[in-house]
A and B are shown apart, each in its own frame.
Chain A
Amino acid sequence: EIVMTQSPATLSVSAGERATLSCRASQSVGINLAWYQQKPGQAPRLLIYGASTRATGIPARFSGSGSGTEFTLTISSLQSEDFAVYHCQHYNDWPWTFGQGTKVEIK
């Protein structure tokens, strides 16, 4: 089973600043990597799939990159609505697994 490790656990950022979140896989997953955003009391929302493709309706300030074992989610200029927990998930083979999440909080 592939283990996904996200860092940092918490990221403190001011509105308008850039946020960079990392996700590492214990073995190569190619570009079979998705990112989700989750706000308190809500279900996750798909942001990125294929490591870098934005899902429908996702603003351009969200971008994903990476392949193999190292992935990055970048939020270019944080808006108030972006403060949330972000999860990565590989889907290279079953069982698919999530990282433990990165909380982006207001600095």
Chain B
Amino acid sequence: QVTLKESGPALVKPTETLTLTCTFSGFSLRTSGMRVGWIRQPPGKALEWLARIDWDDDKFYSTSLKTRLSISKDTSKNQVVLTMTNMDPLDTATYFCGRIHPHGDFCDYWGQGTLVTVSS
């Protein structure tokens, strides 16, 4: 079955770079049509798409955050890595990774999420 799990630091300091890893199973990013995305949710607020990476290594980023984001994949490890530079307390959120449905642009499977707090 499809599973995803996020990992990374729970606490980062302002101006630091955040690196999050999504480790998944049950599908492969070598398969045509497969994609993985990152979404975040500040406490009590709306969900926000951050980035996605496609099987063919196409990458897409949030318009407002694209200068700070980088997404990459390691198909041999079934992992997708998101980095976000210059972290700010406003970036405090739960960060989710999700599999994007191969025949539609929505997440059909989600990780449990990881809470990242930005504080000095």
Contact = CB atoms under 8 A, between A and B. Distances in A.
Interface of A: 1, 32, 34, 36, 42-46, 49-50, 55, 87, 89, 91, 94-101
Contact of A89 (B47, B96, B110): B47
Contacts, number: 53
A46 B106 CA distance: 8
Contact of B104 (A44, A50, A95): A50
- Taking each of B49, B62, B98, B106, which has the highest tally of chain A beta carbons within 10 Å of its own beta carbon? B106
Nearest to A45: B110
B101 to A, nearest CB: 7
A95 B47 contact: no
Given A94-B60, A96-B49, A97-B49, A44 B106 contact: no
B83 interface: no
Interface residues of B, number: 21
17 contacts: A1-B63, A34-B106, A43-B98, A44-B47, A45-B110, A49-B101, A49-B104, A49-B106, A50-B104, A91-B104, A91-B105, A91-B106, A95-B49, A95-B62, A95-B63, A96-B105, A99-B46
A10 to B, nearest CB: 13
Contacts of B47: 36, 44, 87, 89, 98, 101
Interface of B: 45-49, 52, 60, 62-63, 96, 98, 101, 104-108, 110-113
Nearest to B60: A94
Chain A: interface secondary structure? loop
| 5 tightest A-B CB contacts, nearest first | A91-B105, A43-B110, A34-B106, A98-B47, A100-B46
A43 B105 contact: no
Given A97-B49, A98-B46, A100-B46, 6 more contacts: A43-B96, A45-B110, A46-B108, A55-B108, A98-B48, A100-B45
